[in-house]
Structure 1
Amino acid sequence: MQKTKLLTVTVPCYNSQDYMRRCVESLLPAGEEVEIIIVDDGSTDDTGMIADEYAEVFPDIVRAVHKENGGHGSGVNAGMSLAKGTYFKVVDSDDWLDKTALEQLMSKLREFEGKTKTPDLLVCNYVYDHLEKEKAHAMNYRNIFPEEELCTWNEMGHFRPSQYLIMHALIYKTEVLRRSDVQLPEHTFYVDNIFAYQPLPNVSSIYYMNIDLYHYYLGREDQSVNEKVLMKRIDQQIKVTKIVSRLVDLREVRRKYPKLAAYMCRNISIMMAISSIHLLMIQSEEAYQKRQQLWNEIKKQDKRLYKKLKYGTISGFTYLPGRIGGKVTLSGYRVAKKVVQFQ
C-alpha cells in the first residue's frame, strides 16, 4: 500500500544534466512520503533520460514529466497540476535541500497529519551557497515569526531590509495554491516572484521552522540573478513587476491583515527598485524611457499605490528626478551591494 504523500517537490529542469542529480539525490532521503516530480521542460541534453532513470529506479517516489519548452513557470505549473502531496515545494534543478533539515521537516509534516489545525504555509530558512568560493550565507526569519508554533500575519514582526519571502523559503499547502489560482506565465523569467506573492492573502496560518533547508546555488554566469543577465532580461523583470502589482487588491488585504498588506506593498517596492536600478545601469535613452513608463503605468493603475511606492518605500529612492538623481541612486546601490556581499 502506497504511503500518503505529505509533500510534493517539483523540480523544473531545462538542460540540467550537469547538476540535477545533486538536487534529486538530496530529496530522495525523504522516502515514499514525498513525491518528486521532475519536469523535463523540452531539454536538448540528457535531462529527460536522467529523469526517466530516477522514475524507473524509484517508481513510488519519482515521476518524470516530459513537455515542450515553456520556461520555468511552465514547469512549476505542471508540477502544481499533478501534485498529490498535502504540501508543495519547488526546488530548482541546480539547488538542493539539506539532509538533516529535510528529516526535521518530514517529521513535522507527519505530526500535522490528522490534526484539525495545520498551517497553510511553512517557512524555513534558505542558504545562499557559493560552492566555488566556499562561501555560504543563511537567511532566517527569527525576527518575523515565532518558532515552531502556528501564527497569523497579524502576529508577525518587521522585516529587515534584506529580508523577504522568496520561493526558496516557502512550502505552501497544495490546496492553498489551487485556491489562489496560481498560474505562472510561460517563457518568462523571474516568475518565482509571483509564486511567492499571489497566494499570501489566502494563507490563514503560518508555521516557521528555524532550519536551513534550502541551498540556493550561486556561481553560474547564466543565472537570472547575475547582474549582467538581469540587465539583458530587464524587459522580463519589468513584465513580472507589472503582473505582481496587479495581482492583489491591497486595500482588501489591509482590512484583514494590515501587516501583510504592508509587506506586500514593500515587495512591489523591491521589485520596482530592482527594475529602476538596472534600467539606470543600462545607461541608454531607451532604458530611461522604460523606467519612466513603468512608473507612469503604476500611477495610472493605482494612484494610492504609486504614492506609497514613491514616497513611503525604498523604491522611491530609485526614482529620483533627472540624471543627477539617477547617479545618486546608482551610488547608493553600489554601497548597499558592498554591505550585503552574498553574491
Structure 2
Amino acid sequence: MNRETNKILSIIVPTYNAEKFLDKGLSSFLVDDNSILNEIEVVVVNDGTPDNSVAVAQKYVDRYPNVYRILNKKNGGHGSAINAGVGIINGRYFKVVDADDWVDTQILKETVCYLKQHEQQKENFADVVLMSYKSYVLQREGTNQYPYDDKFIKQNGGPYDAEYINEHLYDFWWGLSLHGVIYNTGFYRSIGRTLIEGVFYEDQEFSIVPMAYARRFYAYDKPLYEYRVGDVNQSVSIESSLKRLDHYEKVIMRLIDAGNDAANFSKGGKALWFSKTSKFINDYMQLCLIRNSDKRQLRERMKHFVEQINDKNPEMYDCVNKNYRVFCALNKLHMSDNIYRRFFIPLLHVIRH
C-alpha cells in the first residue's frame, strides 16, 4: 500500500499514564519556524491510557492540526504502540520519543534541516541516522538543578555500512539505541518485522534487528533526545528490572531468533547483531548475578537460561558463556554492584588494552 510521504520527519509518542509529563514533551516539538514545523508530524499513540493524557494531547491537535494527531488503540504495551504508529505515519523518516521524555527544540529544527538537505541531494539517503542524546536526571531534592549525562557519539558523517559501525562500535554506541536512532520509514517497513508486544525492553529489538539489515548509516552528533532517568518506577531501575525477568528473556530469545535470517542481513549486519545481542545478554546476566543483592536467588534460573541459549544458538552461547562463568564466580564471592562497577570493570579495561 502506497502512503503519501509529505513530511520529512514523523515522531511517534507512545503514551500511557504520562499526563504529568506529556505537555513538556509535546511542547518541545514546536520549533519557531513554520516552514520547518510543517515538515514535522507528531503522532501520539494512546495505548489505552486510563489518565488524562489524551486530553493533554488534544489541546495540541486543536491548535496545530497539521502537526499533531492522536491514534487511539487498546493497551498492548510500548512495542504495540510503536507498531501501530509505524503503520500510519507519513514522514519519510521517523523517531520514537517516549511520553515522559522530550527533545531539544533547537536541535530538532537543525535535524529537520539536516534531513531535508540530504534528501535533496539523494532521496532516501540513509536507512539509519544515529544521533547523540542526553540523560536528564530527576531534580535533586532541595535544588533547582537537573543534571545531564551527555551520551555523545564520536564520529560524524557517512555513509557507513554495518561492518564499519561494528568495527567502531563504541564510537557510535549511544546512537545505536532507541534514544539515538532515526529510521528511514520505507526501509523500516521493508523489513516486514513488528516488535514484540506486551513486554518491556522491546526497545532492544527496535534498536538491534533493523540495523542488521541497514546498508547506509549516517551519524549526526547533535543531542536531540532528552531522556528522563532516576525514577524508581522506570523499567530500567533495578527494582523494576528484577520484577520483569521474564520480559528480558522473551526479548532475548526473540533477538536470538532474529539471527536465523542472517542470510538476508546487510554486509556486517550479522556481526553488528551479534555484538549488540550478546551485550544485552551480558547486561541481563550482570543484573541477575551481580546487581541483585540476593546472590543466591537467581543462580539456577541463570543456569537454565544459558542452557536455553545453547539450544537456540551455540555460537551465541560460546560467546556469552565465558562471561557467565565470570559472573558466577563473582556472584559466589558476593561482589557488590558498586565494587563491580568501580573496580572490576576498569581493571578489565586495563587488561584488555
Band of TM-score, shorter chain: 0.7 to 0.9
**8 Å Cα contact 2:135/2:149 also seen in 1:** yes
Partner SS state of residue 113, structure 1: helix
Distance in 2 (alpha carbons) for counterparts of 1:72 and 1:153: 27
Q: 1:177 aligns with which of 188, 192, 195?
A: 188
**8 Å Cα contact 1:275/1:291 also seen in 2:** no
Q: 1:327 aligns with which of 309, 323, 332?
A: 332
1:116-136 per-residue CA deviation (whole Å, 9 max, x = no partner) reads: 350111111011110413321
Q: Which moved more, 1:127-136 or 1:160-169?
A: 160-169
Distance in 2 (alpha carbons) for counterparts of 1:251 and 1:35: 34
1:64-116 per-residue CA deviation (whole Å, 9 max, x = no partner) reads: 11111111111111110001100011000111111221111011111123433
**Per-residue deviation at 1:321?**
7.8
Q: 1:75 aligns with which of 67, 74, 81?
A: 81
Q: Which moved more, 1:227-236 or 1:150-159?
A: 150-159
Q: 1:124 aligns with which of 118, 131, 150?
A: 131
**Per-residue deviation at 1:3?**
9.3
Partner SS state of residue 95, structure 2: strand
Structure 1 residue ranges, 4+ long, deviating more than 4 angstroms after superposition = none
**8 Å Cα contact 1:55/1:62 also seen in 2:** yes
Distance in 2 (alpha carbons) for counterparts of 1:149 and 1:294: 39
**Per-residue deviation at 1:230?**
0.5
Q: Which residue of 2 aligns with 1:266?
A: 275
**Per-residue deviation at 1:336?**
4.8
Letter in 1 for 2:275: R
Distance in 1 (alpha carbons) for counterparts of 2:130 and 2:171: 18
**How many residues in Structure 1 have an aligned counterpart in Structure 2?**
327
Distance in 1 (alpha carbons) for counterparts of 2:325 and 2:203: 24
Partner SS state of residue 335, structure 2: helix
Partner SS state of residue 7, structure 2: coil
**Per-residue deviation at 1:286?**
6.3
Normalised to the residue count of structure 2, the TM-score between the two structures is 0.85
Q: 2:64 aligns with which of 58, 61, 72?
A: 58
Q: How does 1:124-143 map to 2 (within 5 A)?
A: 124-133=131-140, 134-142=146-154
Letter in 2 for 1:58: Y
Unaligned runs of 5+ in 2: 141-145, 346-353
Letter in 2 for 1:4: N
Normalised to the residue count of structure 1, the TM-score between the two structures is 0.87
1:181-214 per-residue CA deviation (whole Å, 9 max, x = no partner) reads: 2311221101100100111122111111111111
Give me the CA root mean square deviation: 2.5
Counting aligned pairs with the same residue, the percent is 24
Unaligned runs of 5+ in 1: none
Q: Which residue of 1 aligns with 2:22?
A: 20
**8 Å Cα contact 2:208/2:277 also seen in 1:** no
Change in CA separation of 1:338 and 1:101 when aligned onto 2, cut-off 3 Å: farther
**8 Å Cα contact 2:127/2:217 also seen in 1:** yes
Q: 2:118 aligns with which of 109, 112, 120?
A: 112
**8 Å Cα contact 2:259/2:273 also seen in 1:** no
Q: Which residue of 1 aligns with 2:211?
A: 200
**8 Å Cα contact 1:95/1:217 also seen in 2:** yes
